[in-house]
Amino acid sequence: METTTLKIRGMTCGGCVASVQRVLRELDGVENADVSLADSTATVQYEPARVKPADLHAAIEDAGYDVVS
């Protein structure tokens, strides 16, 4: 199990937080995703054999938000 924290741009409300959490948690291999509006971050626990960081980025971007490098 690995943990990564992603900086996200474009979240403005609780609905945004819920949306990002949902798309991340739906990914096979993601154990947990905690999203913070105040910090504009997502802390994700995932199984690297089943999901890659690029998959996390793609899910967030497909939901309409930007991942800041």
DSSP 65: -
pLDDT 10s digits, 1-34:
999 999 999 999 999 999 999 999 999 999 999 9
Contact 36, 57 (CB under 8 A): no
In angstroms, the CA 29 to CA 24 distance is 10
Instruction: Kindly state the DSSP code that residue 48 receives in the 8-state scheme.
Output: T
Q: What does pTM read for this prediction?
A: 0.88
Q: Choose the CATH number for 2-68 among 1.10.40.30, 3.30.70.270, 3.30.70.100, 3.40.50.300.
A: 3.30.70.100
Alpha-carbon span 9 to 5, nearest angstrom: 13
Q: Domain residue spans in the chain?
A: 2-68
